[in-house]
Amino acid sequence: MSDKYQQLRELFGEIFDLKAAANVLEWDQQIYMPPGGGSVRAMQLATLLRLAHVKLVSDEFGAALEAAEAEVASLDPDCDEVRVVRKVTRDVDKWRKVPSEWVGEFTRITALSQQAWEKARAESDFAQFEPHLNKVVELRKQYAEFFAPYGHPYDPLLDFFEPGMKTTEVKAVFDELRPQQVELVQNIAEHGAPVDDSLLHQPFDEGKQWDFGVEVAKALGYDFESGRQDKAVHPFTIGFGVGDVRITTRFNPNYLGTALFGTMHEAGHAMYGQGVKPTLDRTNLIEGASYGIHESQSRMLENLVGRSRPFWVAFYPRLQKVFPSQLGDVDLETFYRAINKVERSLIRVEADEATYNLHIMLRFEIETALMEGKISVGDLPEIWNSKMEDYLGILPPDDAKGVLQDVHWSCGYIGYFPTYALGNLMASQLWVKIDEDIPNLARQIERGEFGDLLAWLRENIHQHGAKFEPMELLQRVTGSSLSPEPYLHYLRSKYMDIYKLS
Amino acid sequence: MSDKYQQLRELFGEIFDLKAAANVLEWDQQIYMPPGGGSVRAMQLATLLRLAHVKLVSDEFGAALEAAEAEVASLDPDCDEVRVVRKVTRDVDKWRKVPSEWVGEFTRITALSQQAWEKARAESDFAQFEPHLNKVVELRKQYAEFFAPYGHPYDPLLDFFEPGMKTTEVKAVFDELRPQQVELVQNIAEHGAPVDDSLLHQPFDEGKQWDFGVEVAKALGYDFESGRQDKAVHPFTIGFGVGDVRITTRFNPNYLGTALFGTMHEAGHAMYGQGVKPTLDRTNLIEGASYGIHESQSRMLENLVGRSRPFWVAFYPRLQKVFPSQLGDVDLETFYRAINKVERSLIRVEADEATYNLHIMLRFEIETALMEGKISVGDLPEIWNSKMEDYLGILPPDDAKGVLQDVHWSCGYIGYFPTYALGNLMASQLWVKIDEDIPNLARQIERGEFGDLLAWLRENIHQHGAKFEPMELLQRVTGSSLSPEPYLHYLRSKYMDIYKLS
């Protein structure tokens, strides 16, 4: 490629390096940093991301971008060069609306707020987190104002995670999903053949859980030469380049599901990151098309693969060998039904597929109300609990299992949650296509073979990173726009079978 | 403090943040980074340190420095503000001679070179490290030229680690030490009562070694709330701020000394870092006065404390309880003599105090010859082995136990090694003063009490960080300039006793 484009890449490479360094610092902060490191760490993160912003919106960078735009104008509009330039342009346009000082302050406040959340969650005490969250929400409201006029104050936040998506669109999707998911859950509760998942609630040695999780992640295609797994309070995936994408997990010594499905979920994210074309390293395309597309990869691995019958045909005998006293006498079908038990439960990340989106809708309603100024941070525990009763008919025993359960708000990730639901939809939509393209897929999975699946994902999704916008990518791959139908169809047929409903 | 000084601190704070972030990335690189992360990590480090350099030598920073200088000119010359400004001025003067591009390239090359060294050492294959080391030495020669004219091409490198010290001064010190250390070692070999250290060479469970090391580090005063310990190929200490100073260690499952004394050594470094006055955080004073002063702290804890009889009066019963089958029948005196066995050995970091400086002199001769262009990188294995025979009468069986044993050259730390020997000297010199100031120190140590010792170190050394230049600090604290006498006296009396010489 020619000069101007290379110059842009080099300048962007510096910005990438600053952001990747910030990611290393965040990884460390959430996993290994001692308490004494908290306040300077917040300063360090603020400096890195503020400087990255200063560089991105600088005149020097603007000029380089303009020169590169002109240079690539005549190339194939789908080639990497054009798409790199286009994505950089979108980012510059967006970030020029935001002052560098805001970026620094937001970074510092959210770093401290994460540290506070961790402690508040451990002590199940919302009050000590409240002042931090207040600042975060205040900053997010400021952020929305940078993008005024907007259709809805939540739009700029949503756009941050799901470029192009509007609050009204999410509402419309949720309005379509809600009654059907509620009806399904109701139907299961009233007419389903009971499922007993007590076998999952036994003591399981942490070391053995770890080893089995690693084995599964490797089998799925997560490459430990270009990543690693550590323990974290709230599992996450983070990358510093195509060759270093790390996952985290957490353990419940008395419940098998936490680490097992958590690891598959994060491996799904990480394989996306590891699968981006290496020539796109140090560009902003390696981030992934959107958080929704990212969640389609993680939720697909966790659920469409990890909670499927074929998967456990391959892995259940192995799991039984690891935990003979707990599972030796449990047959595959009983295990399969247990891991798919539908239950109105407290913790989103452990929710079954039928109720999962209800957890998301609850958060979406709270977040939009916060941004509209209809509720305030101090009201959150009460509102959370009352919505839990509305949606799921249960009341959290404490804040740790309620409003404090997720790390997202402490990070300023208001607007993220809808992408989980969108990811669920996209995963099912993609799966229909995958199933067409790999006719004997179920047989392969039953043999523990994921090579064709990974190759398909690499070819159609991973390699491109953020080259295509999310809806464009979905359209290119599946031939249709976002639709809840494949997802609802998948849910219904899966649970009708498990719960023997007609 | 007033405006201009605060402005300087804020600007310097950013530079500090960039360097601290680079330290986090280096910590991760040496401990947790997967192989796939290596090449982009080198770019990230290069960007961070190049940007830090660009900021430091910028006109904006120069103007802020000048304004702050004028503002603090009338203050007490020993106050923190004046000293912060003076240290920044020294740094700016030094770094203005070096192009930012060199800083970036040196950082990138040394990051890759460290990764290569780790592999080469594991495979004991100097050849695969040679091209990397060639580049490092080339860059270090360039660096020296930035400071021409110099008395000796090694001077600028030495000054990097030991500000103000000249190659001729180090030579003079070594020329004084060498015959006396050689004579002592000879005397021990020929006339000493034999010491048997086979008790240290037995299987020792790694987990128990870890726990005991942590216990000792805590007792000495290392604060795990402001730090942590991890395993590393080559132990090191690294800090990201006063509240986050981390140590590393490594284990030999068949030799107790590696982790035990390594941990005490690193704790000595880290307690210096943790002890800097918190108001100096995010300034360049938290780095420590020099590497020599730093080594005085680590070598003091490792040797003057950790290899002393009083220390083991306190800790040996505890160690026996941890390893009853290995040490239950070994009395304190036998153990004390074993950990002080004088032996011509291969590995510097495990060398006894009598032979340790010989390892340093060997490296110093090689480094100066490299810088003078009298030898080349390709000659190193042969030269190393021949010097080992000269100095210590033994031949390394392979490069891993010879020329590849230390991480320093791979990091570009040419000029570092002399500071270990200087640190040994300073430690003894300080200890004479400590012994005067805390009359019942030995009794306290026998009871496992280190509070007075730590308070003395905090008051006289740690709190100041790099506020005073190394020789100024030594003079202030001990009332005399650097002298080998206390060290030689310490060595002789210790080993005459242990080896029953007269």
Q: Are residues A145 and A176 part of one domain?
A: no
Q: Which residues of B387-423 are buried (b: 16+ CB within 10 A; e: fewer)?
A: bbeebbeeebeebbbbbbbbbbbbbbbbbbbbbbbbb
Pair (A117, A174) in one structural domain: no
Nearest CA of chain B to the CA of A388: how many Å? 37
Average pLDDT over residues A363-374: 97
Rounded (5°) CA angle B86-B244-B205: 135
* pLDDT value of position A2: 72
Q: What does DSSP say about strands A245-249 and A237-239: parallel, antiparallel, or unpaired?
A: antiparallel
Question: pLDDT for B78-106, tens place per residue?
Answer: 999 999 999 999 999 999 999 999 999 99
For range B114-141, the mean pLDDT:
97
Q: Which of B266, B287, B302, B469 is catalytic?
A: B266
A96 inside domain: yes
Q: Return contacts of B179-187, CB within 8 angstroms, 24+ apart.
A: B180/B488, B181/B354, B181/B355, B181/B357, B181/B358, B181/B488, B181/B491, B182/B358, B184/B354, B184/B491, B184/B492, B184/B495, B185/B342, B185/B344, B185/B354, B185/B355, B185/B358, B187/B501
Is the pLDDT at B250 greater than 60? The verdict is yes
ipTM, 2 decimals? 0.96
CA distance B24 to chain A (A): 7
C-alpha span between B462 and B455 (Å, rounded): 9
- C-alpha–C-alpha distance, residues A112 and A22, integer Å: 14
In a domain, A157, yes or no: no
Out of B34, B48, B244, closest to residue A21 by CB: B48
Please check whether residue B155 lies inside any domain of the structure: no
Is residue A294 in a domain? yes
A86: amino acid identity, one letter:
R
- Indicate whether B100 and B176 sit together in one domain: no
Tell me how close the Cα of B39 comes to any Cα of chain A, in angstroms.
Answer: 9
Mean predicted lDDT score pLDDT of chain B:
97
Tell me the average pLDDT across A416-426.
97
Residue B38 lies in a domain: yes
Q: For B263-307, what is each residue's pLDDT tens digit?
A: 999 999 999 999 999 999 999 999 999 999 999 999 999 999 999
Tokens encoding B320: 């026996």
**Secondary structure (3-state) at A230:** strand
Q: What is the DSSP letter of A255?
A: B
Q: Which two tokens stand for residue A368?
A: 């939009």
Which residue in A39, A224, A243 is closest to B40 by CB distance? A243
pLDDT digits (tens, 9 = 90+) for B182-191: 999 999 999 9
Give pLDDT, residue A272.
98
User: Domain check: are B331 and B389 in the same one?
Assistant: yes
Confidence (pLDDT) at B204: 98
Q: Residues A304-322, buried b or exposed e (16+ Cβ, 10 A)?
A: bbbbbbbbbbbbbeebbeb
Test B282 with A228 for CB contact under 8 angstroms: no
The answer to whether residues A209 and A251 touch, using CB atoms and an 8 Å cutoff, is yes
Average pLDDT over residues A437-448: 97
Minimum CA–CA partner of A20 in chain B: B44
Residue B62 has pLDDT above 60, yes or no: yes
Which of A40, A225, A281 lies nearest to residue B244, judging by beta carbons?
A40
Check residue A232 and give left, alpha or beta (phi > 0: left; psi -120 to 50: alpha): beta
A36 with B282: Cβ contact below 8 A: no
Predicted pLDDT at B56: 98
Chain A residues close to B271, C-beta within 8 Å:
none
Nearest residue in A to B227, CA atom: A34
> What's the N-to-C CA distance of chain A in angstroms?
60
Residue type, B496: M
My answer on whether A115 and A182 are in the same domain is no
**How far is it, in rounded angstroms, from Cα A52 to Cα B92?**
24
pLDDT band at B468 (very low <50, low <70, confident <90, very high): very high
CB count in 10 Å sphere of residue A295? 29
Question: B33–A241: do the CB atoms touch at under 8 Å?
Answer: no
Which of B92, B117, B149 is the last residue in one of the domains? B149
Q: What is the pLDDT of residues A62-73, one digit of tens each?
A: 999 999 999 999
List CB contacts (< 8 A) between B241 and chain A. Answer: 37, 39-41
* CATH number (domain holding residue A360): 1.10.1370.30
Residues of B in contact with A282 (CB under 8 A): 40, 43
Range of the domain at B339: 167-498
Mutate to test the interface with A, among B18, B244, B246, B281 (most CBs of A within 10 A): B244
Q: What is the mean pLDDT of residues A192-212?
A: 97
Three-state SS for B245? strand
Is the domain of A142 the same as that of A189? no
Which of B11, B17, B26, B281 is the mutation pick for testing A, counting most A CBs within 10 A?
B17
Residues A134 and A173 reside in one and the same domain:
no
A93: tokens are: 């346009």
Last residue of a domain, one of A92, A118, A149: A149
Region of residue A191 (phi > 0: left; psi between -120 and 50: alpha; otherwise: beta): alpha
Domain closes at, from B89, B117, B149? B149
A430 & A389 share domain: yes
The CA–CA distances, whole Å, from B164 to A143, B156, B158, B177, B216 equal: 51, 9, 8, 21, 35
Among A22, A28, A226, the residue with its CB nearest the CB of B34 is A226
pLDDT beyond 70 at A325: yes
A143 part of a folded domain: yes
The answer to whether residue B125 scores a pLDDT higher than 60 is yes
Question: Residue B358 and residue B183: Cα distance in Å, rounded?
Answer: 12
Cβ contact, residue pair B34, A281, below 8 Å: no
- Judge if B375 and B227 occupy the same domain: yes
Q: Give the one of B27, B44, B230 whose C-beta lies nearest to A20's C-beta.
A: B44
Residue B421 lies in a domain: yes
Q: Using the beta-carbon criterion (under 8 Å), do B17 and A241 form an inter-chain contact?
A: no
Which positions in chain B touch A40 (Cβ < 8 Å)?
20, 240-244, 281-282
Looking at the 3D structure of chain B, how many domains does it have? Answer: 2
Residue B469: inside a domain:
yes
For the record, the structure tokens of A371 come out as 């941004």
Whole-number Å distance between alpha carbons of B265 and A374: 58
Indicate if A203 and A141 belong to the same structural domain: no
In whole angstroms, give the CA distance from residue A248 to residue A111: 18
With 70 as the cut, is the pLDDT of residue A215 above it? yes
Give percent above pLDDT 90 in chain A: 99
Q: Which residues of A are catalytic?
A: 266
Residues in CB range of B466: below 8 A, 6 or more apart? B87, B284, B285, B286, B287, B288, B289, B290
pLDDT of res. B2? 72
Percent above pLDDT 90 for chain B? 99
Task: Kindly indicate the confidence band of residue A502, based on its pLDDT and cuts at 50, 70 and 90.
Answer: confident
Residues of B in contact with A41 (CB under 8 A): 240-241, 244
Inter-residue contact A426 to A482 (CB < 8 Å)? yes
Kindly tell me if the per-residue pLDDT of B319 is higher than 60: yes
Half-sphere exposure of A430 (CA within 13 A, CB side): 32
Looking at the fold, whether B138 and B171 belong to one and the same domain comes out as: no
Please answer yes or no on whether B244 and A43 come within 8 Å at the CB atom.
no
Contact B241 A38 (CB under 8 A): no
- Considering CB atoms only, which of B25, B32, B34 is closest to A21? B25
**Predicted confidence (pLDDT) at residue A1 exceeds the cutoff of 80:** no
Model pTM score: 0.96
Answer yes or no: do A138 and A212 share one domain: no
pLDDT of B122 higher than 90: yes
A–B CB contacts, 8 A cutoff, strictly below: 134
With an 8 Å Cβ cutoff, the interface of chain B facing chain A consists of: 13-14, 17-18, 20-22, 24-25, 27-28, 32-41, 43-44, 46-48, 51, 223-228, 230, 240-244, 246, 281-282
Is B32 in contact with A226 (Cβ distance < 8 A)?
no
